[in-house]
Amino acid sequence: MNAKSLKLPELSHLAISDELTGLYNRRGFLLLGSERMKLAHSMKKNVLLFFADLDNLKQINDEFGHQEGDQALLKTADVFRNTFRNSDITGRFGGDEFTSLVIEDFGHTSETISKRLQENMEELSANNTQYPLSLSVGMTRYAAEFRSSLKKLLAQADQALYKQKQSSRVTPRGNLPVMFPGTRHGFSQFGFRAPEASMARRSHGKSRKSSAGTI
């Protein structure tokens, strides 16, 4: 199939989709995420942004080859699909980075989403015995009464991810999100890993949690 045989809507979708995972690419995330920010502000709803790195992707590529590294990215993309709603803006931001923009709602809060992401990554890690799979996650929550841009929200989430990685190197802790001090102007920052090493060693019997329920 070449570009001439594709219709305009198909070409538009390809332009904003990640070729490997099928999630939104960086361009698609920024474009649709900005529109979602405007919608959240008009609805007076809080916004959550999750920014995650797939840990040790370089080591997986080096030891098992890039094809296996691609499989790790595909498995992680599936975790994001099962964690977030279709209405959330979820993408592969580039390389080993995944992100999702969420309008916070009843039953779909920072706590419930973080727990679901933990459980889905735990299930993936338990069934992936060849090498460990985990995420380092930075999350920022933005209050509805303030106005901001997606660029600022990304900067806050990226900073939270950096703090999470630094904190994990110094003091390993549990899987619950930890709030970082120094938040301001409507932002709050959190960080966690998904899953912790102790969680990855649990038995394989759990069903995967979805935003629509148990699969």
195 within a domain of the structure (yes/no): yes
- The Cα–Cα gap between 98 and 84 comes to 12
Long-range contacts: 146-149, Cβ < 8 Å, 24+? Answer: 146/185, 146/186, 147/41, 148/37, 148/185, 148/186, 148/187, 149/34, 149/37
Nearest to 65 by CA among 131, 138, 137: 131
pLDDT in tens, 86-142: 999 999 999 999 999 999 998 899 899 999 999 999 999 888 888 889 999 999 988
11 within a domain of the structure (yes/no): no
49 within a domain of the structure (yes/no): yes
13 within a domain of the structure (yes/no): no
The CA–CA distances, whole Å, from 29 to 17, 26, 96 equal 9, 5, 15
User: What CATH number does residue 188 fall under?
Assistant: 3.30.70.270
- The Cα–Cα gap between 122 and 133 comes to 9
What tokens were used for 36? 């979602």
7 within a domain of the structure (yes/no): no
The structure's pTM equals: 0.81
Return the H-helix or E-strand segment holding 120: helix 110-127
2 within a domain of the structure (yes/no): no
40 within a domain of the structure (yes/no): yes
3 within a domain of the structure (yes/no): no
Domain residues for 75?
18-214
Nearest to 100 by CA among 56, 155, 52, 31: 52
* Count of domains forming the chain: 1
pLDDT in tens, 168-209: 665 555 455 555 554 555 667 788 888 854 444 443 344 444
